[in-house]
Amino acid sequence: MLFFVGKGFRVIAHDRRGHGRSSQVSDGHDMDHYAADVAALVEHLDLRNAIHVGHSTGGGEATRYVARHGRDRVARLVLIGAVPPLMLKTESNPGGLPLEVFDGLRRQLAANRSQFYLEFAGGPFYGYNRPGAEPSQAAIWNWWRQGIMGSSKAHYDGIKAFSETDFTEDLKAIAVPTLVLHGGDDQIVPVADSAALSARLLKHSTLKIYDLLPHGLCTTHPDIVNADLLKFVTA
């Protein structure tokens, strides 16, 4: 965010409901509500000609917002390591992940949320479990800090939201130029069943896969990501 502020952009971030410093409400932890919350914020600030950037679950949130609410307010869309079109393995999505994978995340979260966050950030999220990786303890603890601030109910329900929501029709409905970025070694949202499929469904997409980069590439390789974002938003 500081990078783009320094380039003269107005930069706005929000805490998803139940996450960060947002209110820890008990319900509405699904993509429809996430997108509607963004719409309420955008309308309150009267944002126009905006560029929406979504990473991971936020990519799903941004996709649904742009498709259902933002057609007259959005100039461009960026999806980074994003969950669309659909993470869950189904008959129509055979390359997805089995439900057991997400049930396992729910079990770990319910059993010991604090430990789960440490292990998730210290392992697959940033690729710190790969041979030769040099983990940043600061990045791990900051991920833990952000997670532990939120609601355990929101995070638990959010697993269903990011894994079982089908964004196929949302992607087809989006007409604005969209940049799709993804790490080639993403262990959280496997690239083969996400970025390339989304790019094909979008009307105007640019796809870029970063060889060997992890899911949390915005933190591990910000210079690479920022340069491509700047090129896209100023083109």
Active-site residue (options: 186, 193, 198, 205): 186
Tokens of 35: 């997108």
Sequence-ordered list of residues with C-beta below 8 angstroms from that of 209, at least 6 positions apart, any chain = 182, 183, 184, 191, 195, 196
Catalytic residue list contains 186: yes
Virtual torsion, Cα 218, 223, 52, 36, nearest 10 deg: 20
Q: Which of 52, 56, 151, 194 is catalytic?
A: 56
Catalytic residue among 33, 52, 155, 215: 215
Separation between Cα atoms, residue 223 and residue 226, nearest integer Å: 5
The question of whether 22 is a catalytic residue gets the answer no
Q: Are 112 and 223 in contact (CB under 8 A)?
A: no
What are the tokens at 21?
């410093």
- Kind and range of the H or E element at 206? strand 205-210
155 is catalytic: no
Tokens of 191: 């690239």
CA atoms of 224 and 70, how far apart (whole Å)? 28
Show which residues are catalytic: 56, 186, 215
